[in-house]
A and B are shown apart, each in its own frame.
Chain A
Amino acid sequence: MLLKIDGLVAGWSRPVVGPVSLRLGAGDVVGLWGANGSGKSTLIAAIAGHACCFAGHIERRPGLRVAMQPQAPVRLSPLPVTGRELLRAARAEIDGLPPTLALASRKRLDRLSGGQHQLLSVWAALAGPADLVLLDEPTNNLDPQHTGLLADMLCARRGDRAVLLVSHERPFLDAHCTRVLELAG
């Protein structure tokens, strides 16, 4: 078991989500689905240690390595850092990049489209050393072709790690997750 959550109530200045109980093991790709304001992003932030836990507890496997990709990647301009340099900084593999992303990764990040940047950031999380990957709305800014690439990335190396991902796109979650949790608003 990589992550065990029992009766978690999480939020910022006040509780936003919970109580939630959840188990994540290697190979799991769990989707979080719910209406706006149901606390999906807050739950992920609490697991990453950013949001406050008001009740319950989160138990991580000792030595668990976590990668988190927030809803919007950090975009700066000007930014003379290439996609490859971003991936190296994230200690993510570069060799297995899909061809379209491999081409884009040689450019400066401030010269990439929103979708290319989003997908590179997701790759940085998925192809890195993390055992648990938290993805908040990874389908943002992606056209159908890039959404397909994201689906391929989620399937690759599935046995090595667990993925918890938030998305508003229920068909995407149903197609690519091992199970989907619905958060009540």
Chain B
Amino acid sequence: MELTTLVDPLFRLPLATGVVLAVVLPLLGAVLMLRDEWLASLGYAQISAAGALLALVAALPALIGGVLAAGVSALAKGASGAAGNASYGFMMLGGWAALLLIGANTSAGDQVAQALIQGQLYFAGPEDLAAALLLALAGAMLLPWLMNKLLRTRLLPHHDAANGRPVRRWHTTFDLLAAAGVAVATASMGVMAALALVLAPAWLAFRVAPSWRWTLLLSSVLGVLGFLIAFWVALLLDQPFGPVLVAVLLAAVSLSGASSGVAPSRHPWRNAASGRSQPPPTIEDPGAPDA
């Protein structure tokens, strides 16, 4: 199979949808990682998968069901003031249980649930691309406005609180954006691929980027590269897209680990940040007795 397959009219919509999501999801992932809430991707993905399945059972569009379920969860989290991964852990458990129960009690529900987990990117249609573009537009409008606020509330949490600024509103706005992003991605590429695009590029960028600006840029670039490689390999080898994307991104994570020298250094004074060897500082105690 040739590279031109990527622009085959049959695959143009899935390709365009995936590229847009591969730009946006890693940006959301970077902010979630900054807040130490990377599990949000799995929590929102499971909830939105359950919402999508419920919508299908009720003969409604899956995309709308997924976005609504994830949005309501984000609002509930914001209203309760919950923070950290524990709330997303419970969200994930609830969504997972609902997905299995709905699947077990409806005709063909089990197959649809399986499809939502694995991902069926090649069937993405115009509504998926429209949702992805809307998400990108919302991200382009909200993230520049939110970014410094979110950085400040994370790193200098007392500054805004001491001035009575609407910190919870900022966080809930971002939660809604993240929930919508994961829900749109889950509907078009499945839970596994959505989680992979939120988690892996940001995780990598956090370790190698020299600044926050570069972290955001690198996250998106890695997301798009990983997506394009996985899309082509999955088509070439006729494999499900979600697991292939995970394999590609895990390979990138492993490569970055190998190149940054995860193995212990022979020199205990090796500078972890620069990678350059430096002699240990000399410490002399003038009062020490001669050996």
Give the interface of A toward B (CB within 8 A): 48-50, 65-70, 73-74, 76, 78-82, 85-86, 88-90, 108-109, 111, 121, 124-125, 128, 134
B93 located at the interface, meaning its Cβ lies under 8 Å from any Cβ of chain A in the complex = no
- Specify which of B34, B159, B214 lies most central, judged by the most chain A CB atoms within 10 Å of its CB: B159
Residues from 198 to 215 in B contacting A, C-beta threshold 8 Å? 205-207, 209-215
30 CB contacts below 8 A, A to B, read A48-B158, A48-B162, A49-B162, A50-B162, A66-B159, A66-B162, A66-B163, A67-B162, A68-B158, A68-B162, A69-B156, A69-B158, A76-B36, A76-B155, A78-B207, A79-B206, A80-B206, A80-B209, A80-B211, A80-B215, A81-B211, A82-B212, A85-B213, A86-B151, A86-B155, A88-B148, A89-B148, A89-B152, A124-B156, A124-B159
How many A-B pairs have beta carbons closer than 8 Å: the answer is: 80
Residues in A with CB closer than 8 Å to B154 are 74, 76
Give the interface of B toward A (CB within 8 A): 34, 36, 148-149, 151-152, 154-159, 161-164, 205-207, 209-215, 273
- Specify which of B158, B164, B205, B212 lies most central, judged by the most chain A CB atoms within 10 Å of its CB: B158
- Nearest CB of B to A112, in Å: 10
Residues in A with CB closer than 8 Å to B205 are 80
Q: A80-B214, A80-B215, A89-B152 are in contact. List 19 more A-B contacts (CB 8 A).
A: A48-B161, A48-B162, A50-B161, A50-B162, A66-B162, A68-B159, A74-B154, A74-B155, A74-B156, A74-B157, A76-B34, A80-B212, A82-B210, A82-B212, A85-B212, A86-B156, A89-B155, A89-B156, A90-B156
Residues in B with CB closer than 8 Å to A128 are 159
